[in-house]
Structure 1
Amino acid sequence: MTAHHAHPAPPLTLDDLARLDDLAAEEKAPDEVREGLATVRAPVTMPPGERLRLKDGGTFILPEGSFYGRAMTETELHEMGTLRAPDTPPRPHRPLWQPLLHYPRPTGPSLKMMRRINGTAVIPLTTGVYGEYPPRQTFFPSGFPWSCIGRIFIRNDAGSPNWDASGTAVLVGKRAVLTAAHAVPWGAPNASIQFVAGYFDGNSSAGAGGQSWATAAHGYAGQDVTAHDMAVLRLADPLGDWLGGMGARPFDDSWRGGAYWTSVGYPGDVDNGERPSFQSSIHVIDDDEDGDAQELEHHADETPGDSGGAFFGTWSDGPYAVGTVSGFEQVSGPLSIGNEDNNISAGGNALTGLVNFARTTWT
Structure 2
Amino acid sequence: MEERTSANAAQEPPVGADEFIRLDNERSGERMPKELAALVEGRTLSITTREKFDFRSVEPVPYDGDRWQVKLPEGTGLVMPGRTSGRLSVDEVGRAAVRELGESGELAASRPAWVDYEPHAKVSAARTTVLRRLDGTILEPHYGVFGADDRQVYYPGGYPWTCVGKVYVWDDWGSPYPAWSGSGVLIGDRTVLTAGHMCPWGSGNWAMQFVPAYYDGVSTLGRGVSSYVSDYYGYDTDDTVSAWDMAVLRLYTPLGVNYGYFGTKDYDSAWEGGNYWTLAGYPGAVAGGNRPSRQMWWPVLDDDGSGSAEEVEYEADSTPGNSGGPVFGFWSGLPYAIATHSGGSKTTFLWWTIEDTNVGAGGGALNSLVAWARSNWPA
TM-score, length of structure 1 as denominator length? 0.91
Deviation at 1:102? 1.6
Which of structure 1's runs of 4+ aligned residues deviate more than 4 A? 55-61, 114-120
| CA gap 1:56/1:272 in 2 versus in 1, 3 angstroms | closer
Q: Residues 183 and 308 of structure 1 are in contact (CA less than 8 Å); yes or no, is this contact kept in structure 2? A: yes
- Backbone CA RMSD of aligned residues: 2.2
Alignment length, in residue pairs? 355
**1:212 corresponds to 2:233:** no
Q: 1:332 and 2:342 equivalent? A: no
- Within 5 A, what are the aligned runs for 1:26-41? 26-41=29-44
Q: Distance in 2 between matches of 1:296 and 1:65?
A: 43
CA distance in 2, matches of 1:159, 1:7: 45
| 2:115 pairs with one of 76, 92, 98 | 98
| SS of residue matched to 2:92 | coil
Match of 1:10 in 2: 13
Answer whether contact 2:23 2:333 (CA < 8 A) is retained: no
Question: What are the superposed Cα offsets for residues 22-42 of structure 1, whole Å, 9 maximum, x if unpaired?
Answer: 222152211233333332222
The answer to whether the Cα contact below 8 Å between 2:10 and 2:265 also exists between their aligned partners in 1 is no
Say if 2:331 is the partner of 1:321: no
Deviation (angstroms), 1:114: 4.6
Alignment partner of 1:332: what SS? strand
1:275 matched to 2:278 = no
Residue 323 of structure 2 corresponds to: 307
Amino acid in the other structure paired with 1:203: V
Instruction: Tell me which amino acid in the other structure corresponds to 2:82.
Output: M
The structure 2 residue matched to 1:80, chosen from 85, 90, 94, is 90
Q: Alignment partner of 1:216: what SS?
A: strand
* Pair 1:229–1:30, CA change in 2 (3 A): same
Q: Confirm or deny: 8 A CA contact 1:128 1:343 kept in the other structure.
A: yes
Aligned to 1:193: 208
Change in Cα spacing, 1:245 to 1:44, as seen in structure 2 (3 Å) is same
The letter for the 2-side match of 1:18 is I
1:89-168 equivalences under 5 Å are: 89-114=106-131, 122=138, 125-131=141-147, 135-168=150-183
The equivalent residue for 2:306 is: 290
CA distance change for structure 1 residues 317 and 54 in 2, over 3 Å: closer, same or farther? Answer: same
Helix, strand or coil at the partner of 2:90: coil
1:182 is aligned to 2:204: no
1:174-224: per-residue Cα shift (whole Å, max 9, x none)?
111000000101101111111111110111111022101001001011232
Distance 1:350 1:304 in 2: 24
Distance change in 2, residues 1:81/1:295 (3 Å):
farther
Distance 1:203 1:56 in 2: 28
What's the secondary structure of 1:194's corresponding residue?
A: strand
Alignment of 1:351 with 2:366, yes or no, is: yes
Moved more, 50-59 or 162-171: 50-59
Paired residues of 2:126 and 2:151 also in contact (CA < 8 A): no
| Equivalent residue, structure 1, for 2:66 | none
Distance 1:138 1:57 in 2: 40
Q: Please say if residues 226 and 326 of structure 1, whose CA atoms lie closer than 8 Å, have aligned partners that are also in contact.
A: yes
Secondary structure (helix, strand or coil) at the match of 1:355 reads: helix
- In 2: Cα distance, 1:346 partner to 1:56 partner: 50
* Cα distance per residue 1:44-68 (max 9 Å; x no partner): 1123543313256788664432211
User: 1:239-296, CA deviations, whole angstroms, 9 ceiling, x for partnerless residues?
Assistant: 1011110001111011000000000010011111010000000100000111010000
The residue that corresponds to 2:74 in the other structure is: 64
Q: Do 1:110 and 1:135's aligned partners in 2 also have CA atoms closer than 8 Å?
A: no
Alignment TM-score, normalising by the size of structure 2: 0.88
Change (3 A) 1:317 1:158: same
Residue 124 of structure 1 and its aligned partner are, at CA, apart by 5.1
The AA in structure 1 aligned to 2:230 is T
Aligned with 2:32: secondary structure? coil
Find the aligned partners of 1:340 and 1:57 in 2 and give their Cα distance: 60
The answer as to whether partners of 1:322 and 1:347 remain within 8 angstroms in 2 is: yes
1:169 aligns with 2:184: yes
The question of whether the paired residues in 2 share the 8 Å contact of 1:81 and 1:292 is answered with no
Q: Is the 8 A contact 2:10 2:266 kept in 1?
A: no
Alpha-carbon contact 1:53-1:60 (below 8 Å) kept: no
**Measured at CA, do residues 37 and 270 of structure 1 come closer, stay the same or move farther in structure 2, by a change above 3 Å?**
same
> What SS does structure 2 have at the residue aligned with 1:53?
helix
